């Protein structure tokens, strides 16, 4: 399993089922001619200070087909932590801050330390902390500016945004005012990430998507150009107190040094 690609997909989303969660991802952007009916709405963002979830995931890329359990925790605007378990052993643990990422891979006894810039270069897709945090909690990845407008298209509200080399299309449900679909395009490469959020259920006071499907499509890539991640949350919580973000740097660095000898 290639950690950078698998991690990228986890970043933009967070089922092990072999059935289809949705009828199919809508990769096609809305036609410009339909963006005429401008409206003012207030999207219902997931409001939280701390977030914790346990999820089943399924990752597919070419011949790769991986099922695992993911535990994730967030302290908003501060730190993201997750632990990935596969076949009854811990496969990967990560601690993510605004400027750095620390990844511990159990099978390889290897600690990786990355910046978001270096990770973006590795996966050829522009990433940052806010985009990751928003995707994990079903929120819009970019903060709307006064120039960003919503348009009514059938039973959805659509907003297009641009930040650097990233273009984002947000699709908001007319009734719930929740984000239900996201198309993110890296303009210099043409690589596209499409995410759909479904099965919205109550989690505390929040209406939260318990099923997610994400497709990462590479414009030019040998082998399979599409990677898919299915997520089914088993438990979602917004605790009042900060959850544990256990990551033993000293222990992992010692193991990593032993492996190198």
pLDDT at 113 over 90: no
- Most confident range (mean pLDDT) of 6-15, 48-57, 122-131 is 48-57
Name the pTM for this structure.
0.80
Position 132 scores a pLDDT of 83
Strand 150-153 relative to strand 156-163, pairing: antiparallel
Instruction: Please give the residue that has the higher pLDDT: either 15 or 23.
Output: 23
Tokens of 246: 């256990």
Assign 23 a pLDDT band (cuts: 50, 70, 90).
very low
- Give the burial class of 151: count Cβ atoms within 10 A of its Cβ; 0-12 exposed, 13-18 middle, 19 or more buried: middle
Q: How many CB atoms lie within 10 A of CB 175?
A: 6
Q: What are phi and psi of 187, to 5 degrees?
A: -70, -30
Instruction: Please give the residue that has the higher pLDDT: either 101 or 173.
Output: 173
pLDDT at 58 over 50: yes
User: Please, which residues have CB within 8 angstroms of residue 168's CB and are 6 or more apart in sequence?
Assistant: 140, 141, 142, 160, 161, 162, 182, 183, 184, 185
DSSP string, 17-64: -SS-SSS----SPPPGGGTT-EE-----PPP-SEEEEEEEEEEEETTE
Min mean pLDDT across 30-44, 154-168, 191-205 is at 30-44
Q: Compute the distance between CA of residue 162 and CA of residue 143 in angstroms, rounded to an integer.
A: 11
pLDDT in tens, 230-241: 899 999 999 999
Q: What is the mean pLDDT of residues 19-45?
A: 66
Q: What is the mean pLDDT of the chain?
A: 79
pLDDT at 9 over 50: no
Helix (H, G, I), strand (E, B) or coil at 9: helix
Q: Which fold has domain 3-260?
A: outer membrane lipoprotein receptor (LolB), chain A (2.50.20)
Instruction: Please give the residue that has the higher pLDDT: either 20 or 232.
Output: 232
Assign 31 a pLDDT band (cuts: 50, 70, 90).
low
pLDDT at 88 over 70: no
Q: Compute the distance between CA of residue 173 and CA of residue 164 in angstroms, rounded to an integer.
A: 27
pLDDT in tens, 149-181: 999 988 899 999 988 888 899 999 999 999 999
DSSP string, 86-155: ETTEEEEEEEEESS-EEEEETTTTEEEEE-HHHHHHHHTS---HHHHHHHHHT--SS---TT--EEEETT
Q: What is the mean pLDDT of residues 53-79?
A: 89
Sign of CA dihedral 11, 16, 22, 24: positive
Min mean pLDDT across 88-102, 157-171, 221-235, 247-261 is at 247-261
């Amino acid at each position: 399993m290639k950690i950078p690609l698998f991690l990228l997909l986890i970043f933009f989303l967070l089922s092990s089922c072999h059935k289809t969660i949705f009828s199919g991802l809508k990769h096609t952007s809305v036609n410009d001619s339909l963006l005429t009916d401008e409206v003012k709405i207030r999207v219902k963002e997931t409001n939280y200070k701390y977030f914790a979830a346990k999820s089943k995931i399924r990752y597919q890329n070419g011949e790769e087909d991986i099922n695992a359990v993911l535990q994730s925790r967030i302290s908003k605007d501060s730190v993201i932590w997750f632990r990935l378990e596969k076949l009854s052993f811990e496969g990967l643990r990560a601690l993510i801050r605004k400027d750095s990422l620390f990844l511990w891979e159990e099978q390889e006894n290897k600690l990786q330390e990355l910046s978001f810039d270096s990770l973006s270069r590795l996966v050829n897709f522009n990433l940052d902390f806010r985009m990751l945090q928003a995707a994990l909690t079903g929120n819009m990845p970019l903060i709307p500016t006064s120039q960003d407008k919503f348009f009514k298209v059938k039973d959805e509200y659509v907003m297009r945004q641009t930040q650097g080399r990233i273009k984002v299309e947000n699709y908001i449900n007319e009734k719930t005012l929740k984000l239900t679909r996201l198309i993110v395009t890296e303009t210099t490469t043409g690589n596209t990430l499409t995410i759909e959020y479904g099965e919205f259920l109550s989690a505390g006071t929040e209406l939260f998507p318990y099923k997610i499907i994400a497709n990462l499509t590479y414009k030019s890539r040998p082998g399979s150009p599409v990677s898919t991640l299915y997520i089914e949350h088993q438990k979602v919580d917004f605790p009042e107190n900060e959850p544990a973000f256990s990551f033993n740097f000293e222990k992992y660095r010692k193991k990593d040094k032993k492996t190198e000898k």
